[in-house]
Amino acid sequence: MTVTYSIRIEGVESTLKTLGQVDKELLNKIKAEVKDEVDKAAVIAKAGYPSGRAIRNWNNKPTIKPKSGSGFPNYDYNKARAGVKSVVAKKTASSKKSWKIAALQQKNAGGVIFDMAGSKTAGNGSGVYFVSKLTGEYGRASRTMWPAMRAKQASIVNSIQKGVNKAATELSLRMIERRGR
pLDDT (tens digit, 9 = 90+) per residue, 139-173? 888 899 999 999 999 999 899 888 888 888 888 88
Residue 74, in any domain of the structure: yes
> Among 7-11, 71-75, 169-173, which range has the highest average pLDDT?
169-173
**Which residue range(s) make up the domain with 169?**
3-175
Residue 153 domain flag: yes
Per-residue pLDDT band at 97 (split at 50, 70, 90): low
Is 84 strand, coil or helix?
strand
Tell me if 30 sits within 8 A of 19, measured CB to CB.
yes
* pLDDT for the residue 123: 65
In a domain, 181, yes or no: no
State the distance between the two ends of the chain, measured CA to CA, in whole angstroms: 53
Residue 90: strand, helix, or coil: strand
Q: What is the pLDDT of residue 27?
A: 85
Higher per-residue pLDDT: 87 or 46: 46
| Mean local confidence (pLDDT), 18-37 | 86
The pTM (predicted TM-score) of the whole model is 0.78
CB 127 within 8 A of CB 72: no
Q: How many domains does the chain have?
A: 1
Query: Would you say residue 61 has pLDDT above 60?
Result: yes
Q: Residue 180 falls within a domain, yes or no?
A: no
Q: Is residue 16 over pLDDT 70?
A: yes
Q: Are 59 and 74 in contact (CB under 8 A)?
A: yes
130: confidence class by pLDDT, cuts 50, 70, 90: confident
User: Minimal CA–CA distance to 14: which of 86, 99, 103, 102?
Assistant: 99
Q: Are 9 and 156 in contact (CB under 8 A)?
A: no
- Quickly count: other Cβ atoms within 10 Å of residue 49's Cβ: 26
137 part of a folded domain: yes
Query: Strand 3-7 and strand 99-106: pairing?
Result: antiparallel
